[in-house]
Amino acid sequence: MKKIFICFIVFIFFVLGMFFLSEINAKFFKNNLVGEDMNDKIIIAHRGEFNIGKLIDGGANMIEFDLRKTKDGVYVAFHSDSVNGRKVRDLTYSELNSFASVEIPKVESFLEEYGKGIGFDVHLKERGYEQEALAFLLGYVNKKDLLITSEHLESLKKIREVDPKIKLGLILLRGNLGKNVILDKLVGGANSKQALEDCESNGFEYIVPSVWYLNDGYLDSAHSKGIGVLPWTVNSKNGMEKYLGDERIAGIITDKPEVAVSLR
C-alpha cells in the first residue's frame, strides 16, 4: 500500500512538472523574436507577376499585383495610371504596349497558368468596375486564395456587398500619395486612425499600411480590433525579422520574398 502511495505522489509531481514546463516553453516561443508563430506569417511577393513560377517554388504565399483595365476591356498588371502622358484606361492594350518598354502582362494569361497554384493579393487601383473585376478574378482564383486590397474605401465596400466572404484589405498610403486624391474617402496622409475604424466598421480583414505608420500603439490598436496588419514594403532583413516575429503582424509585403521565406 505504501509503494502505491509513493508511486501516486511521484506521478502527481511528474504531471505538474510537465505542465509547468509546457507553460514556460509557451511563454518563451510567444515572446521570442524567432518563435514558432513565424511559420504562420503570410509572405506576399510585391509586384510578382513576372516571376510567379519561381515564387511558387521559393515558398511565397501570395503574389501581389496592381489591377487596371484598358479601353478595350483587357485587365492588365500595371502600377502607374498613365504611360507617356496618356491614361491606361484611355488606351487599348495594343496602344499601351506600344508606349511601354516591356510587354505589359495580361492578368488573364498568368491567372490561366497559375490561378490555382498560389494566393493572389490584387491591388484594385481604380474605381467603377469592382463587381466586374471580382467576377473576372473568381473565374481563375479560388475564393479562399484571393485577397483584394485598395486605397479606395468605397470600392471595398461595394465588393463586400457583392460577396461578404471575400477577404479585403484597406491600403493606407504614405504622406503625399493620398493628398491630391482624397475625394470619396480615399485613404492617405494623416488618416491612419480613421482607416482602422473603417476596417472595423466594415468588417475588413486587413489593414495594409506603409511601414512608416507602424508603431506599437498602432499595432496594438489593430490587434485589439481583430484586424490583421500587412505592412508594405518590408525589404530589410532586420525589418523582416522584426515583423515576422510580431504576433500583431499577419504577414509582410516584400520585394524580396526569398529572404523573408528563409527567415520564416
Same domain, 10 and 25: yes
Same domain, 9 and 138: no
pLDDT of residue 1: 56
Same domain, 43 and 70: yes
Cell readout for 239 is: 525589418
Mean pLDDT of the chain: 85
Same domain, 11 and 119: no
CATH number, domain containing residue 82:
3.20.20.190
pLDDT of residue 38: 57
pLDDT band per the 50, 70, 90 thresholds, residue 192: confident
Cell readout for 51 is: 516571376
Same domain, 112 and 143: yes
Same domain, 10 and 140: no
The residue among 257, 163, 250 whose CA lies nearest residue 209 is 250
Residue 183 confidence (pLDDT) above 50: no
Domain count, the chain: 2
Residue showing cell 491567372:
111
Same domain, 13 and 98: no
Same domain, 40 and 142: yes
pLDDT of residue 191: 74
Say what percent of the chain tops pLDDT 90. Answer: 75
Burial state string for 49-74 with b = 16 or more CB within 10 A and e = fewer than 16: beebeebbeeebbbbbbbbbbbeeeb
Mind listing the pLDDT tens digit for each residue in 17-75? 444 433 333 333 233 323 335 568 999 999 999 999 999 999 999 999 999 999 999 99
Provide the residue range defining the domain that includes 78: 36-263
Same domain, 151 and 213: yes
**Sign of the CA dihedral with 54 first, then 57, 58, and 64 last:** positive
pLDDT of residue 4: 55
Cell readout for 39 is: 511559420
Same domain, 18 and 62: no
Same domain, 52 and 120: yes
